[in-house]
Chains A and B, each alone.
Chain A
Amino acid sequence: MIAQPQWFARRKYLGWGLYPKTWQGWVYIAVMIALLVIMSFVPTVSAQTVQTVTLIWVGLCIVDIADVMVRMNKDEREKIHEAFAERNALWVMLAVLVVAIGYQASQSIVKTGAPTFDPFIIAAIFAGLIAKAITNIYLDRKD
């Protein structure tokens, strides 16, 4: 792909993802945004074309950045730190989601007499469950 791992650093303290650490990284971000902006101002291009190309462009950017994140070289200490940080983040998010389910269920019981749940919250927890199982199966087989 286009972006190179050495242009970026892992975001550790403010969110997830990457941030540019070299001028090439900043140029990459600037070019990606500039091309989108320039295209949207071309008068001959229809709104639907702009929308379609924007979606494709954003998708390509996400795939390219994901590729960089996978290829980013991390040493063993960094991998351990990242694993602990992500695990702690997951536990906190999971706790909030469980509290949210309980709150929604209690509120719906008060209003309607029957519990209702936000399907997206259930889906998020279920997806996490699957990801965890797959990871453990992979790791158990790997070593």
Chain B
Amino acid sequence: MKTRISEFRKELGLTQEDLAQKVDVTRQTIISLEQGKYNPSLKLAHDITKALKQKQIEDVFEL
């Protein structure tokens, strides 16, 4: 799944570790998500969308 996590994260000046802590996952999970290797649960996708200050999940995750 393609995502814009890296783009929005950098806009907010967050490191992968910062984002990982905000959504309570490991940095490795953020890396996998940014690389499009891992498909998150709806809850995690929602949490990441909120943490990246976006309105809709579709803004961050390409469905």
Contacts and interface: CB of A to CB of B under 8 A. Distances in A.
Q: Real complex partners, A and B?
A: yes
Contacts of A73: 24
Count chain B CB atoms within 10 A of each CB in A73, A76, A78 and give the residue with the most: A76
Interface of A: 73, 75-78
A78 B40 CA distance: 12
B41 A78 contact: no
B contact residues, range? 10 to 19
A12 to B, nearest CB: 11
Closest 7 pairs (CB-CB, A-B): A75-B25, A77-B29, A75-B29, A76-B41, A77-B38, A75-B26, A76-B44
Contacts of A75: 24-26, 29, 44
Contacts of B24: 73, 75
B26 A76 contact: no
B54 interface: no
A78 B26 contact: yes
Contacts of B40: 76-77
